[in-house]
Amino acid sequence: MTAGRVLVGCSGWDYAEWVGRFYPRRGVEDRLRYYTGVFPVVEVNSSFYHLPTARTVESWARRTPNGFRFTAKVPQEITHDRRLQDVEEPLQALRRAFQPLVRAGKLSAFLVQLPPSLPFREAEVRDFYRRMAGDVPVAVEFREESWLTEASFHLLQDAGFAPVVVDEPKLPVFLRSDPSFAYVRWHGHGSPLWYDYTYRSEELSAWVPRVRELQERSSQVLGFFNNHFRADAPRNALELSQLLELPPPPWTGRLVPPDLPGPGSGPDPPTGGPSGPPGNPRVDRG
């Protein structure tokens, strides 16, 4: 298999603490547009808390360049409230909400983040995967040890879903993927909040061979930094991108990535592309 494409970005883009550290302190009219001048992909985590309106999703499709990609987190109503059961209605609402990105060819995956209190029950999980399957690829993030079994991984394989390779304090890192894509999330190792964490250079360097291994197994690797405090997510995402020698998004016209953001500054504003009102993803604390 030819080595797959690697896309690295962040979990969300609209954070006040990123101003002056990633976004210029003087402000930008459209943070999503600015973000697309640096990264080729973003994970929408606001959908975990509430679904965006069709008008909002249409604006995301309109304001982003051809080739830019989104993933979207499945609502907590499905995973945490209903605990994967009786989910037909909210699943239909999820698919309707993100149809504009599907039509635009910009939605790469749905992310199912399971609650840490939910144990693996094979029959229930098989039924949920059957209902979750559709035209959009699906990645599933385990948060409880009983899911780390061959029976669980076999169900994912049968469904054609990808297990999320996750860096977090409570579960070990495992390198598994689907041939069509791999999905990676870096949460951090902060205490008490995982996401309040800055990855050190040596930690990111250790991920280079892991990403390369996933790249050899899958046609595409999607990776997202969720450590949003102090704009650590874009800083670490850019640093890993440079370690992996990933090119800037092709629509920027740049040959090398922008300088790493630092306090009080940000990379040069991107040029070109559509404009419009900024999106408003919420911070993922689930």
Q: What is the DSSP string of 222-252?
A: EEEE---GGGHHHHHHHHHHHHTTPPPPGGG
Query: According to the model, what pLDDT value does residue 25 have?
Result: 87
Confidence of residue 267 (pLDDT cuts 50, 70, 90): very low
Q: How far is CA 161 from CA 112, 126, 154, 249, in A?
A: 10, 12, 10, 27
Query: According to the model, what pLDDT value does residue 274 have?
Result: 30
Distance CA 236, CA 84 (A): 33
Distance CA 209, CA 174 (A): 13
Exposure pattern of 108-133 as b/e (b: 16+ CB <10 Å)? bbbbbbbeeebebeeeebeebbeebe
Per-residue model confidence as pLDDT tens digits over 103-115: 999 999 999 999 9
Contact 223, 8 (CB under 8 A): yes
Contact 275, 59 (CB under 8 A): no
Residue type, 189: H
Tokens of 198: 């800055």
Q: State how beta strands 41-44 and 69-73 pair.
A: parallel
Percent of the chain with pLDDT over 70: 90
Distance CA 234, CA 224 (A): 9
What is the average per-residue pLDDT within 217-246? 97
What is the average per-residue pLDDT within 214-232? 96
Residue 281 has pLDDT above 90, yes or no: no
Query: What torsion, rounded to 10 degrees, do the Cα atoms 135, 281, 55, 94 define?
Result: 30
Q: Which residues, in sequence order, are CB contacts of 86 under 8 Å at separation 6+?
A: none
Residue 38 has pLDDT above 60, yes or no: yes
The mean predicted confidence, pLDDT, of the chain is: 90
What is the average per-residue pLDDT within 124-150? 97
What is the average per-residue pLDDT within 21-43? 93
Per-residue model confidence as pLDDT tens digits over 166-213: 999 999 999 999 999 999 999 999 999 999 999 999 999 999 999 999
On the CB side of 133, CA atoms within 13 Å amount to 13
What is the average per-residue pLDDT within 56-76? 98
Per-residue model confidence as pLDDT tens digits over 246-261: 999 999 998 888 775 4
Does the domain formed by 5-252 have CATH 3.20.20.410? yes
Residue 74 has pLDDT above 90, yes or no: yes
Confidence of residue 284 (pLDDT cuts 50, 70, 90): very low
Q: State how beta strands 220-225 and 107-113 pair.
A: unpaired
Distance CA 227, CA 273 (A): 27
Query: According to the model, what pLDDT value does residue 271 have?
Result: 35
Distance CA 248, CA 121 (A): 43
Range name among 153-157, 189-193, 270-274 with the lowest pLDDT average: 270-274
Residue 266 has pLDDT above 90, yes or no: no
Residue 264 has pLDDT above 50, yes or no: no
Taken as a whole, the chain contains a residue count of 286
